[in-house]
């Protein structure tokens, strides 16, 4: 049935069982890479790229992105982790593990002569049922739980990360930062944009010296010592314009014989910038940010006007500041008439812009932005690797908090959802009278990969713990008087099981639902493949058939 043939057009074709097994193998090897980093007792990975840069991470998506993966099926899993990262932000390791496990069980079913199409439709059915069950039976409204719920969700996310040991401290910080950026959009929905929380990094100090800053902080100082350090009722201009002395275009030749003329050209060159600055100041700006440079000579105009100017800002910072203060990010002063002007409406507003000494650094902080509020977190850490990983962890925490705040639903973590689903889906499978029965049953078995991996990583007896977990969930689903047992999940420190809602191990419900959906879709994408045709890379040195024939003389005469 399976074949591997060489194509006439120069390529290789693999089909049938061979290609399916190959793809499953590739997916499993990807999942094996990240498997040991799952859970609060999971470990980190160190990755070294081709130029020797080192990254240390626990985040599934980051690890997989750094690997140079060639296998097409494995790439699908890398994309899957990336998708989960973008859509949810957390749960990237889990999604890859579930997808690989689904592929493994599916391949076994196909080997038992069950057609892939049946497996696929079974998986689809199981996924729908699972998501429905989470929404109806496992998700808990946040308001019904205590005040600590938000902090607990953050702690669950942070538990596996480098800052897990100080998760209480960081949880409070992340919750405060996120609450500060709450906004209501035009449709009346409450939103918590992650991008409104700026994360800064500074070497030195311990991680517990990290702090939350009210307002948008920039790791920059005013361009001159003599500038004002504090501007109240700030009118902010965000520019992408060079305020250096303008120079004549390269290659332009001007012939003059009068030295005064030369002086006039020089003066005009510096006047152009002066006029530009004057236009901006005349519009009422008293804080000027630009992504490009400002001449030392031009600084004088700002100092005289009592304005604060900051040069060489990062573009993305300025775009965010523009959004928050209501400014327009200006790329050029040219208007429709071909002249230069600066409209006061392009200015943003904030209550105060201040240069302050925070920790060991001078920072510029914009407080009370007009359009949207913002907050900043200054992370302190011993070295770059640590700071980068701290930033990723805080970002994960912010994302998962956003999901909880916006959807208002949480589920217990520590394998509780997976165990409950596996019991439920087994019952669904038994009630099915069609061919999909086996696929649904196998789907339920694949979900157990999460509690199993969590237990193995914590150096506990996985079979024992998972069996106990399933027994409790079975009880909760068959005996209505014991329904509360559905919150039971793993306690990885003690190696037992406990009520994870009471213990405060909570995750956003949306994260679980999405990760089951994405994992199923990715597994199905790979399962549908029954043929791979790989074109041979064209050998540049090899001459074409026509050229060979021409040279051998067979085309002559």
Ligand X SMILES: Nc1ncnc2c1ncn2[C@@H]1O[C@H](COP(=O)(O)OP(=O)(O)OP(=O)(O)O)[C@@H](O)[C@H]1O
> Contact positions toward Mg ion, by CB under 5 A?
90
Neighbours of 536 (CB within 10 A): 11
Active site residue 396: yes
* Partner in contact with 228, chosen from Mg ion, ligand X, none, beta carbon below 5 to 8 Å by kind: none
Residues 371-430 that bind ligand X (CB under 6 A): 396, 413-414
Query: Shortest distance, CB of residue 395 to ligand X, whole angstroms?
Result: 10
159 vs 167, 208, 394, CA distance in Å? 7, 16, 11
Looking at 23, 160, 298, 330, which residue binds ligand X (CB under 6 A)? 160
Site string for ligand X, 452-491 (x = CB under 6 A): --x-----------------------------------x-
Point out the residue whose Cβ comes nearest to ligand X.
Answer: 413
Cα gap 193→198, rounded to integer Å: 11
Task: Point out the catalytic residue in the list 44, 396, 453, 491.
Answer: 396
Give Rg (Cα) of the chain. Answer: 30
Q: Which of 442, 426, 418 is nearest to 118 (CA)?
A: 442
C-beta of 401 vs 490, nearer to ligand X: 490
Q: Which of 80, 91, 48 is nearest to 67 (CA)?
A: 48
Residues touching ligand X, count (CB under 6 A): 25
Pairing of strands 375-381, 197-203: parallel
99 vs 72, 288, 295, CA distance in Å? 15, 50, 56
Neighbours of 379 (CB within 10 A): 23
C-beta of 92 vs 374, nearer to ligand X: 92
Residues 124-153 that bind ligand X (CB under 6 A): none
| Kind and range of the H or E run holding 548 | helix 545-552
The DSSP annotation for 395-419 comes to HHHHHHHHHHHHH-EEEETTTHHHH
Cα gap 515→521, rounded to integer Å: 10
C-beta of 363 vs 465, nearer to ligand X: 465
C-beta of 90 vs 295, nearer to Mg ion: 90
User: Could you give the 3-state DSSP secondary structure of residue 458?
Assistant: coil
Task: Point out the catalytic residue in the list 14, 62, 93, 453.
Answer: 93
Does residue 159 touch ligand X according to CB under 6 A? yes
Point out the residue whose Cβ comes nearest to Mg ion.
Answer: 90
Query: Shortest distance, CB of residue 164 to ligand X, whole angstroms?
Result: 9
User: Could you give the 3-state DSSP secondary structure of residue 288?
Assistant: strand
Active site residue 5: no
Task: Please choose, out of 86-94, 110-118, 201-209, 359-367, the segment that lies near ligand X by the rule CB under 6 A.
Answer: 86-94
Query: Shortest distance, CB of residue 333 to Mg ion, whole angstroms?
Result: 47
Looking at 14, 24, 31, 42, which residue binds ligand X (CB under 6 A)? 42
Active site residue 93: yes
Sheet holding 409-412, edge to edge: 140-141, 409-412, 506-508
Query: Shortest distance, CB of residue 292 to Mg ion, whole angstroms?
Result: 39
C-beta of 154 vs 501, nearer to Mg ion: 154
User: Could you give the 3-state DSSP secondary structure of residue 153?
Assistant: helix
Pairing of strands 45-48, 211-214: unpaired
Does residue 450 touch ligand X according to CB under 6 A? yes
Instruction: Catalogue the active-site residues.
Output: 59, 92-93, 396
Provide the binding-site residues for ligand X, judged by CB under 6 A.
Answer: 37-40, 42, 58-60, 90-94, 156, 159-160, 396, 413-414, 450, 454, 490, 492, 505, 507
């Amino acid at each position: 049935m399976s074949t591997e043939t060489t194509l006439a057009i120069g390529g290789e074709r693999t089909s049938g069982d061979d290609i399916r097994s190959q793809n499953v193998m590739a997916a499993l090897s990807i999942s094996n890479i990240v498997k040991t980093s799952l859970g609060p007792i999971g470990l980190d990975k160190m990755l070294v790229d081709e130029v020797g840069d080192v990254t240390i991470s626990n985040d599934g998506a980051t690890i997989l992105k750094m690997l140079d993966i060639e296998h097409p099926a494995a790439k699908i899993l890398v994309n899957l982790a990336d998708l989960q990262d973008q859509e949810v932000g957390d749960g990237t390791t889990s999604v890859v593990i579930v997808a690989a496990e689904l592929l493994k069980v599916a391949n076994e079913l196909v080997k038992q002569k069950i057609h892939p199409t049946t497996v696929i439709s079974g998986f689809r059915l199981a996924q729908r049922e699972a998501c429905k069950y989470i929404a109806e039976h496992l998700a808990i409204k946040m308001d019904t739980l205590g005040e600590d719920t938000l902090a607990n969700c953050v702690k669950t996310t942070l538990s596996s990360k480098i800052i897990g040991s100080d998760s209480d401290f960081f949880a409070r910080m992340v919750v405060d930062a996120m609450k500060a950026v709450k906004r209501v959009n035009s449709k009346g929905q409450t939103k918590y944009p992650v991008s409104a929380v700026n994360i800064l990094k500074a070497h030195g100090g311990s991680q517990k010296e990290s702090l939350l800053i009210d307002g948008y902080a920039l790791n920059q100082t005013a361009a001159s010592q003599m500038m004002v350090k504090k501007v109240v009722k700030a009118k902010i201009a965000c520019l992408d314009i060079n305020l250096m002395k303008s120079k004549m275009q390269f290659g332009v030749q001007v012939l003059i014989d009068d030295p005064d003329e030369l002086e006039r050209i020089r003066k005009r060159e510096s006047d152009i910038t002066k006029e530009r600055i004057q236009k901006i100041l005349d519009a009422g700006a008293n804080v000027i940010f630009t992504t490009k440079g400002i001449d030392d000579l031009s600084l004088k105009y700002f100092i005289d006007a009592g304005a604060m100017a900051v040069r060489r800002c990062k573009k993305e910072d300025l775009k965010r500041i523009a959004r928050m203060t209501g400014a327009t990010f200006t790329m050029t002063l040219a208007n429709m008439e071909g002249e230069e002007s600066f409209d006061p409406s392009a200015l943003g507003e904030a209550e105060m812009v201040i240069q302050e000494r925070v920790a060991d650094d001078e920072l510029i902080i914009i407080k009370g932005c007009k359009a949207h509020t913002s907050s900043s977190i200054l992370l302190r850490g011993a070295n770059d690797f640590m700071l980068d990983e701290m930033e990723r962890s805080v970002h994960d925490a912010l994302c998962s908090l956003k999901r909880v705040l916006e959807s208002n639903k949480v589920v217990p973590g520590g394998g509780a959802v997976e165990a409950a689903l596996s019991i439920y889906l087994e019952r669904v499978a038994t009630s099915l009278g069609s061919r999909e029965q086996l696929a649904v049953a196998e789907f339920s078995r694949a979900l157990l990969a999460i509690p199993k991996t969590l237990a193995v990583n914590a150096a506990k007896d996985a079979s024992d713990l998972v069996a106990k977990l399933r027994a409790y969930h079975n009880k909760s689903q068959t005996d209505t008087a014991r329904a509360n047992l559905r919150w039971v999940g793993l306690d990885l420190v003690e190696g037992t099981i406990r009520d994870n809602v009471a213990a405060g191990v909570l995750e956003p419900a949306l994260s679980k639902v999405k990760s089951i959906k994405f994992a199923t879709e990715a597994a199905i994408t790979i399962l549908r493949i029954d043929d791979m045709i790989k074109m041979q890379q064209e050998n540049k040195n090899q001459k074409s058939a026509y050229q060979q024939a021409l040279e051998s003389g067979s085309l002559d005469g």
